[in-house]
Amino acid sequence: MDFQNSHSITLGDKLRQLRDEKNLMQREVAAVIEVDGAFISKVENNEKPINRKHLATLSKFFKVQEDELQTLWLADKIRLIIREEKLGKQAIQIVFNYFNQQ
């Protein structure tokens, strides 16, 4: 995945895309990680986060790199933390600059 051009994709978006590509129903994906279909719907609609432990299983099931799902999972987590913060964008820029200097 080209992370430079994935600025607006969420893990839920990616999971929906992968499920659609395989013409699967939400309940079929839910069975893989032993949750109900309603939970997968909420994940795909970015209403609920998925547990990190499910990412390895989903990456194998969809035949994608686990790092791709892990990165989107972490990005979602960061978004959830800063979305209500007035200075969130500025804080992210500082962190971005920090890692670019490493």
pLDDT at 94 over 90: yes
pTM score:
0.83
pLDDT above 80 for 36: yes
- Domain 8-101 coded CATH 1.10.260.40: yes
| pLDDT value of position 27 | 96
Q: Are 43 and 12 in contact (CB under 8 A)?
A: yes
Q: Which two tokens stand for residue 30?
A: 């839910």
Cβ proximity of 43 and 15 under 8 Å: yes
